[in-house]
Chain A
Amino acid sequence: MTRIGLVAAAAVAMASTVATQAQSQSATTVVWQGEATILTVTPSCTSNKNERQTIGVGTVLRTLLRPAGLGANGTTTRMSFNHDGQANAVYIMPGTPGEASGTYASFGAAHNGVLLANRAATYARFSSIPATITAATVFIEYRGALAHFLAINNCTVTFRAAYSPRP
């Protein structure tokens, strides 16, 4: 037990920005949940992969959406994708709400169990229906493109996602 305490004190610290983001959130976040389907993939999404690690056209993933500027959501739009419980990552996108492209920061777990912390890559062509989302919006459709999807090198996907609010 003593050793545990000592090691805890010296444990590797994660990026300080993560802690800051976590502390700035409260219980009044406004989140939608839905499913996403993959529309297009680049060859790296499937090459030299076994089935459980493959993201292909038609793959369906559970997804959460936390638009910027609503409730305690903060200034970033966040979207997560969960591939059958085998990989889960949140994409934190800065900028004005609904911004179509930029650089995301991603956190989560990869297909091989590796912890993903503050992985950066690009997102593009993001658009939603309706274009303006409020806390009262019920049904949302989102499209976009994400590079290095679920930390798969050079795997860029385009997706379409449909959401409804979490009660």
Chain B
Amino acid sequence: MKTAVLAGCVAAAFATGANAEIMYVGSAAVTAASTACGNSATVGDYARITYRPAYPAFGNSGDSYLAYVTTRASFAMTVPANTFRAGINYSGQSVGSTLNVASRAGGITAWTQAPATPATDTSSINVTATFANFWTISGCTVSLRFNLLRVKSGPDEVLN
């Protein structure tokens, strides 16, 4: 219900932006990684995060997406019909540095977000989160910290 109310506010504020989406971009630091991650994720790694939360009333779909993109590899996660939050599962798909493609589901064991419910004038969102089976590696648990910045989704959108 909160999501619906928020989406309604967002749609009213940005009603002039056709085909708009709400998305955020940030830089993620790996703050913890289990031994199963091997060289694929180590503390101090950075990657670009693109977060597209579910905002079905606005233009985003009902599914949420979180992409972790390094200089030559990517790990895309999605939570169907929900936002990213603690205690649910995500579906993950990796494109590795040798161009292997793999998919595996994992749990989001922690997700702390501020503000918890972004408003239309929220310019950034702080997140700390922990993912199991990160990079589609079984047993690889990674904690990330990232500060997301709202970015334009189309040429007509005006950000405050």
Q: Within the complex, which residue of B70, B93, B99, B136 is in contact with A117, where a contact is CB–CB below 8 Å? A: B93
Q: Within the complex, which residue of A107, A113, A166 is in contact with B23, where a contact is CB–CB below 8 Å? A: A113
B16-36 interface bits toward A, Cβ cutoff 8 Å, 1 = contact, 0 = none: 000101010100000000000
Could you say which interface size class chain B belongs to? 35 or more
Chain B residue at minimum C-beta to C-beta distance from A116 = B76
Q: Within the complex, which residue of A11, A48, A79, A86 is in contact with B91, where a contact is CB–CB below 8 Å? A: A11
Complex CA–CA separation, A49 to B98 (angstroms): 31
Contact across chains for B65 and A113 when beta carbons are under 8 A apart? yes
Would you give the shortest CB distance from A129 to chain B, in whole angstroms? 21
Cβ-based interface call for A66 (8 A): yes
A30-62 interface bits toward B, Cβ cutoff 8 Å, 1 = contact, 0 = none: 010100000000000000111010000000001
Q: Chain A contacts of B91 at CB under 8 A?
A: 11-12, 14, 115
Q: Chain A contacts of B70 at CB under 8 A?
A: 85
Q: Chain A contacts of B19 at CB under 8 A?
A: 48
Q: In chain B between 17 and 61, which residues have their CB closer than 8 angstroms to a CB of chain A?
A: 19, 21, 23, 25, 47-48, 50-52
Would you give the shortest CB distance from B154 to chain A, in whole angstroms? 6
Most A C-beta atoms less than 10 A away, residue of B19, B50, B78, B108: B50
A104-118 interface bits toward B, Cβ cutoff 8 Å, 1 = contact, 0 = none: 000111111111110
Cβ-based interface call for A21 (8 A): yes
Chain B residue at minimum C-beta to C-beta distance from A22 = B102
Contact across chains for B155 and A109 when beta carbons are under 8 A apart? no
Contact across chains for B93 and A85 when beta carbons are under 8 A apart? no
Cβ-based interface call for B88 (8 A): yes
Complex CA–CA separation, A85 to B68 (angstroms): 9
Contact across chains for B67 and A113 when beta carbons are under 8 A apart? yes
Q: Within the complex, which residue of A4, A49, A107 is in contact with B95, where a contact is CB–CB below 8 Å? A: A107
B82-121 interface bits toward A, Cβ cutoff 8 Å, 1 = contact, 0 = none: 0000011101010101111111011111000000000000
Interface residues of B (CB under 8 A from A): 19, 21, 23, 25, 47-48, 50-52, 65-67, 69-78, 80, 87-89, 91, 93, 95, 97-103, 105-109, 132, 136, 151-155, 157
Q: Which 4 A-B pairs have the closest CB atoms?
A: A11-B105, A14-B103, A113-B50, A109-B67
14 contacts between A and B (CB under 8 A): A15-B103, A31-B98, A49-B154, A50-B153, A52-B25, A52-B151, A64-B99, A85-B48, A92-B101, A109-B75, A113-B23, A113-B65, A114-B67, A166-B97
